A and B are shown apart, each in its own frame.
Chain A
Amino acid sequence: MQENDIKFLEDTFKKYYFDHFDLIRVPNRTSEREFGFQKFNSGMTRHISIKDDKELHLLLMKNIPSDVYCSNACYSFPNLPMNEKDWKEADLIFDIDAKDINLECRKNHTISKCNECNEISTNMNSCSKCNSIKLEKKSLPCKNCINASKNEVLKLSNILIEDFSIPQNDIHVYFSGNEGFHVYVYNSQFQQLGSKERSELTDYIMFHGAIPETFGMKKIKPNRLTFPDFDEKGWRGRFSKEVYGAKSKRSKIITELIANGYSSFQKTLDDLSDKIGAKIDPNVTMDIHRIFRLPGSLNSKSGLTKVFCTDLTKFDPYLEASFLNEKLVEVIANCPIRFNLKNTKFGPYFNEKVSVPTFAAVYMICKKLATIS
């Protein structure tokens, strides 16, 4: 990124942290958490411990980070190297990202930027100018993508509440500041689980690894009576609703399932994970030493804030997560896709000088689709 772009982003981010410190959620047990941050065009600084709000405020003002992170884990000594920290426990966190849902619309709002010649194009395989395959993909997620992500959050919440008995108010949903949502689970029985056990939990939530026997289908002499009932709880119930569709079709469909045989049943289960499993990133949940974007901080991939969603259904990230100011800035924009921020439409821009509000300029510069003119 160019010097004047960095300067502009730093000034804007600094102002944000000064004006909106109240949005930042200092986690409970602050002094037991590991903090970290990144600066524009620079590496990661981590293994930092912070006592309280004041210290965090000071860190933000002093360093003007592009991104701020905090661990889900609590340690005895958060500022020591990894193997000396003395891990105690970690909140259970899920990451749902629009890019993992692979919707049809995605190709309409994804562009590639060539790492060799900087050409921006809609060709996803090689650069249309120099043929290089080193492409950086940039997506400006649309409403459809956000809604699909929300749907996955709801699927996940249902499983957490219904199967694991987690109270609704211990599940906190945050918009990640870019393409998805982070779901935090507090005070659960899973706090002290290690990585392997959390990986097993993710398989459960994603509906991975189910075998026909679990849903009543035996290899030899299958018995109709062992198939799930329509109103059962947990995965057997979700299976019924998806596969039978309606109570009245149960009997007929069981006959079909038995007639198709065991391997076909296994295939049905494998295909089902895409439909009824929640699409979470298992690597994030498995990691018990990760540092996560701090709620209330800015995401340097978009300039949007990681915000707490009080009402997920109504939540609009392009309205409720955009907190930067409206002062006009001149940029050279090369953003061939239209986007909408704070109820205003921007673009498309084809290598042209335009005057846009700061929040839109930051959005494009963060996506590497504009530079300060």
Chain B
Amino acid sequence: MLELGADEYAKYPFMADAGQYLKDKGFPLVKFGTDPDLKPSVEKAFHRLKVSTEGGIYKSELIDGQASKSYVLEIEVFSFLLAIVLIKLTGMHTLTKRFALAEARRAEQHLEKDLGKASEKSKIDLAIKIIHDLFGIEIIKRDDFFEIPVADYLKHSTSFHEREWKLINRYVKDGKVLLTPEKTVRLIRKELGTYIGSKINNAPTPPMIPGFENMVNELISICKKLTPSYTTITGEYPPCIKHAIEVLEKGENLPHSGRFMLATFLLSKGQSVEEIAPLFKNAPDYNQRITLYQLNHLAGTSGSGTHYSCPSCEKLKTQNLCFAIPECDNIINPIQFGKKRI
């Protein structure tokens, strides 16, 4: 494991040793509910959580990544750990997700600064080592850039929807992708979030701590307001699906990937295999038995039991099956077409 200094604990409190830190300090959890001296840490934790529910990043008291006074360091680490206790007490999954993301972004800011410090080799090395130890990515610093093997880059970037993250829009050389410190750290944001999220999920849920009740209740009510709901505003099919149906109606050949898209889309809209099968009747190679077998396979009623889902818009673009229109804006999968968040 990494050897972290006091400042690193404050910057990256999710590192395993931070938990040990609280234990070593000998503070029993119950004391935080009643001891007025410890109250600032609890209030900080509550604030830290509230900021994350609003999509913001909690502003720490570190000055240029350093804890100027020892109590600052304690509040930084304590408030992170107490925030986890509060999340566990609320039992709200939304809170875990939002907090993990916000904390990942906070750590990201520190990592980015550390990687960008051209004059402080030790800071860069530590940031590189954190990324390697937590996420197994080998990064090499070369001039102003960081080089990452293409395969590692792909593993982490494919979940991003912005086009600038596509490999084609990156500088690729000798099997490596060249990134700025900012992009290097952005690449692992999701993993940082997942890592912090798993720490929270694996933490034990303590019994209610006297003095925490009001904060817990307030957090629960905030979370309830955050859960979005969707309503369907149009029953129209997206253009990719309309196109596929038109191709079949004309008796033209729809490639395998197009048939997969159409079938999984209609299945996800609740249509049955029997309702979907006749659509393929005009295909030049139509065979009723094979069509039903394949549809049942996709629906998960035969074969491995896997229920296949409709491919993402990104994948459909790759397969030349996307015929986007303005109404497609901001959707990442055809099944979201025509739905509106309320």
Interface residues of A (CB under 8 A from B): 81-83, 115, 133-136, 163-166, 189-190, 192-193, 196-197, 199-204, 207-211, 213-214, 233-236, 282-283
Q: Are the C-beta atoms of A203 and B151 separated by less than 8 Å?
A: no
Q: Are the C-beta atoms of A190 and B284 separated by less than 8 Å?
A: no
Chain A residue with Cβ nearest B172: A163
CA distance A134 to B287 in the complex (A): 12
Write out the residue numbers on chain A whose beta carbons fall within 8 Å of the beta carbon of B229.
none
Q: Are the C-beta atoms of A204 and B172 separated by less than 8 Å?
A: yes
Q: Are the C-beta atoms of A233 and B173 separated by less than 8 Å?
A: yes
Chain A residue with Cβ nearest B152: A189
Measured as residues with beta carbon below 8 angstroms from the partner, the interface class of chain B is 35 or more
Segment of B49-57, B113-121, B314-322 engaged in the interface with chain A = B314-322
CA distance A200 to B303 in the complex (A): 28
Q: Are the C-beta atoms of B175 and A209 separated by less than 8 Å?
A: no
CA distance A65 to B318 in the complex (A): 34
Chain B residue with Cβ nearest A277: B168
Write out the residue numbers on chain A whose beta carbons fall within 8 Å of the beta carbon of B282.
133
CA distance A115 to B174 in the complex (A): 50
The residue that B251 contacts in the complex, of A134, A199, A207, A208, with Cβ under 8 A, is A134
Segment of B99-107, B158-166, B202-210, B331-339 engaged in the interface with chain A = B158-166
CA distance A81 to B286 in the complex (A): 26
Write out the residue numbers on chain A whose beta carbons fall within 8 Å of the beta carbon of B23.
none
A-B contact pairs, 10 of them (CB 8 A): A164-B172, A189-B149, A201-B154, A203-B166, A209-B168, A209-B318, A211-B163, A211-B169, A214-B169, A283-B319
CA distance A298 to B5 in the complex (A): 65
Chain B residue with Cβ nearest A198: B154
Closest CB of chain A to B161's CB: distance in Å? 12
Closest CB of chain B to A9's CB: distance in Å? 21
The answer to whether residues A197 and B319 also contact, given A235-B168, A283-B256 and a CB cut-off of 8 A, is no
The answer to whether residues A209 and B151 also contact, given A282-B319, A283-B256, A283-B257 and a CB cut-off of 8 A, is no
Q: Are the C-beta atoms of A211 and B164 separated by less than 8 Å?
A: yes
8 Å CB interface, B289-328 against A: 303-304, 306, 315, 317-319
Chain B residue with Cβ nearest A192: B151
The residue that B150 contacts in the complex, of A81, A83, A164, A192, with Cβ under 8 A, is A164
Most buried by B among A83, A166, A200, A213: A200
Chain B residue with Cβ nearest A126: B251
Q: Are the C-beta atoms of B168 and A165 separated by less than 8 Å?
A: no
The answer to whether residues A208 and B164 also contact, given A83-B306, A133-B251, A192-B151 and a CB cut-off of 8 A, is no
The residue that A199 contacts in the complex, of B173, B284, B306, B315, with Cβ under 8 A, is B315
Write out the residue numbers on chain A whose beta carbons fall within 8 Å of the beta carbon of B319.
282-283
Chain B residue with Cβ nearest A189: B151
Write out the residue numbers on chain A whose beta carbons fall within 8 Å of the beta carbon of B171.
234, 236
Closest CB of chain A to B264's CB: distance in Å? 15
B4 interfacial by beta-carbon distance below 8 Å: no
Write out the residue numbers on chain A whose beta carbons fall within 8 Å of the beta carbon of B315.
196, 199
Chain B residue with Cβ nearest A210: B168
B38 interfacial by beta-carbon distance below 8 Å: no
Q: Are the C-beta atoms of A203 and B175 separated by less than 8 Å?
A: no
Write out the residue numbers on chain A whose beta carbons fall within 8 Å of the beta carbon of B94.
none
Write out the residue numbers on chain A whose beta carbons fall within 8 Å of the beta carbon of B150.
164, 189-190, 201
Q: Are the C-beta atoms of B318 and A201 separated by less than 8 Å?
A: no
Complex A-B, nearest 8 residue pairs according to Cβ-Cβ distance, in ascending order: A165-B175, A197-B154, A133-B251, A189-B151, A214-B169, A83-B304, A204-B167, A165-B174
Q: Are the C-beta atoms of A202 and B318 separated by less than 8 Å?
A: yes
The residue that B151 contacts in the complex, of A197, A207, A213, with Cβ under 8 A, is A197
B157 interfacial by beta-carbon distance below 8 Å: yes
Chain B residue with Cβ nearest A207: B168
Q: Are the C-beta atoms of B158 and A200 separated by less than 8 Å?
A: yes
Chain A residue with Cβ nearest B286: A134
Most buried by A among B167, B170, B303, B315: B167
Q: Are the C-beta atoms of B284 and A204 separated by less than 8 Å?
A: no
The answer to whether residues A203 and B172 also contact, given A282-B319, A283-B319 and a CB cut-off of 8 A, is no
Closest CB of chain B to A130's CB: distance in Å? 14
B155 interfacial by beta-carbon distance below 8 Å: yes
CA distance A200 to B154 in the complex (A): 7
* Other A-B pairs, 14, CB within 8 Å; known A165-B174, A211-B169, A283-B257: A134-B251, A136-B284, A164-B172, A189-B150, A190-B150, A193-B155, A196-B315, A200-B154, A204-B167, A209-B169, A210-B168, A214-B170, A234-B172, A282-B319
Write out the residue numbers on chain A whose beta carbons fall within 8 Å of the beta carbon of B256.
283
CA distance A82 to B308 in the complex (A): 14
Q: Are the C-beta atoms of A200 and B173 separated by less than 8 Å?
A: no
Closest CB of chain B to A215's CB: distance in Å? 9
Write out the residue numbers on chain A whose beta carbons fall within 8 Å of the beta carbon of B174.
165
The answer to whether residues A199 and B318 also contact, given A164-B150, A164-B175, A189-B149 and a CB cut-off of 8 A, is yes
Write out the residue numbers on chain B whose beta carbons fall within 8 Å of the beta carbon of A233.
173
Closest CB of chain B to A77's CB: distance in Å? 14
Closest CB of chain A to B238's CB: distance in Å? 19
CA distance A82 to B302 in the complex (A): 13
CA distance A283 to B171 in the complex (A): 25
CA distance A200 to B251 in the complex (A): 31
CA distance A83 to B173 in the complex (A): 36
Write out the residue numbers on chain A whose beta carbons fall within 8 Å of the beta carbon of B317.
208-209
Q: Are the C-beta atoms of B158 and A197 separated by less than 8 Å?
A: yes
Write out the residue numbers on chain B whose beta carbons fall within 8 Å of the beta carbon of A197.
151, 154-155, 158
8 Å CB interface, B125-164 against A: 149-151, 154-155, 157-158, 163-164
